[in-house]
Copies of this chain bind each other. A is one copy, B any other.
């Protein structure tokens, strides 16, 4: 019963939208698209995320799980679930369940907060540490691949364009 380990972002496989306006402003103006569009951009993002997911899948991690482990590794100390939720910019309940699974798989351990008895901290296990290290190597491959696809001036130019878009 091997299940899907690495999901797709919601808009994945959805970025098939043809960038045609519903109500063209000018009768027969620019029907031929001039350069990149919203959906052509998202389609590429989708491919990139897919590469990350595949790479992490090689070491048995989903991106969601990798991120939790990475945060714990960076902190180099057990973190409260609230702190993790803050770091991931996601709902607390999401972290609760993610940590549930990570704990089940032995990558993380729940430990009592020494001072605040309301709080629960997630602690990286040796297994978790090992996996996040392997995961980071996989991520680096994709990152390097991305960097190598463009020249330095191109990456600089892309950064400028991204700043205008975002």
Query: Considering the chains assembled together, what is the distance between the CA atoms of A155 and B9 in angstroms?
Result: 25
Count identical subunits in the complex: 2
How many residues of A are counted as interface, with CB atoms below 8 angstroms from the partner's CB atoms? 63
Give A10-46 interface residues, CB cut-off 8 Å to B.
10-14, 16-17, 19, 21-23, 34-46
Query: Considering the chains assembled together, what is the distance between the CA atoms of A60 and B52 in angstroms?
Result: 32
Contact B9 A12 (CB under 8 A): yes
Contact B158 A154 (CB under 8 A): no
- Show the binding face of A for B, using Cβ within 8 Å: 7-14, 16-17, 19, 21-23, 34-49, 52, 63-64, 67, 70, 87-90, 133, 136-137, 139-140, 142-144, 146-147, 149-150, 152, 154-159, 161-162, 164-166
